[in-house]
Amino acid sequence: MSKTMFTPRLILAQLVIIFSFSSCNINSETEVTHQLSDFKVVIENTDDGVKMQSLGGPMSWIELSFSLNTNKPQGVDENGMADLTDLDHPRKKQPTEFYFNVAKTDDGIQLKGIRGTAWEELSFTLKDNQKQAFDESGMAEI
C-alpha cells in the first residue's frame, strides 16, 4: 500500500522539477529580449503629430515626422515607422534592436518601450513646438 502512495508523490515531485527547469529556460530567453539598445532621440510636439530627430544610435533615419491622433500610438524602430509585426519578421536578417510606441495625450506625449529600452513607459507634458530628449534609459537632456 505504501508503494502506490509513493509513486504518485514521486511523479508529482518529478513534474515540479521539470516545470522549474522549464521556467528557468523561459526567463533566460526573456532576458535576451531585454538587452538595451544605444540610442538618443529628440521628440517635438507638432500641431498634427510629432517630429523626431536621431542624435545617435543604430537608426537608419535622421528625422522622422508623422501625424498622430490623440491616444492612437505609432510604433518606431531603428528603421522608422513600424508596427509590432516588424519586431521579428522572418524576412529580416536581424531582429529589431529597439521598438517603442509614441502616442499624443491631452497633456503631451506617452512613450511605451517594447524592446531595447530600460523603461516600460514614459509620459511627459509637451506643449506644441516644445522638444524633449530621451534615450534607452529614459528622459535625457537635449
Which of 7-16, 38-47, 59-68, 108-117 has the lowest average pLDDT? 7-16
- Confidence grade of residue 32 (pLDDT, cut at 50, 70, 90): very low
At residue 35, the pLDDT reads: 87
What is the rounded average pLDDT for all residues in the chain? Answer: 80
Question: What pLDDT band is residue 23 in, cutting at 50, 70 and 90?
Answer: very low
Determine the Cα–Cα distance for residues 69 and 8; give it in Å rounded to an integer.
58
* High-pLDDT (> 70) share of the chain, %: 68
In the chain, domain spans:
1-33, 40-140
49 in Cβ contact with 65 (< 8 Å): yes
Residue 131 has pLDDT above 60, yes or no: yes
Structure confidence at residue 83 (pLDDT): 83
What is the C-alpha separation between 44 and 102, in angstroms, rounded?
A: 11
Task: Calculate mean pLDDT across residues 82-94.
Answer: 66
- 61-86 b/e with 16+ CB inside 10 Å = b? eeebeeebeeeebbbbbbeeebeeeb
Q: Compute CA distances 98 → 11, 18, 78, 87, whole Å.
A: 43, 33, 7, 9
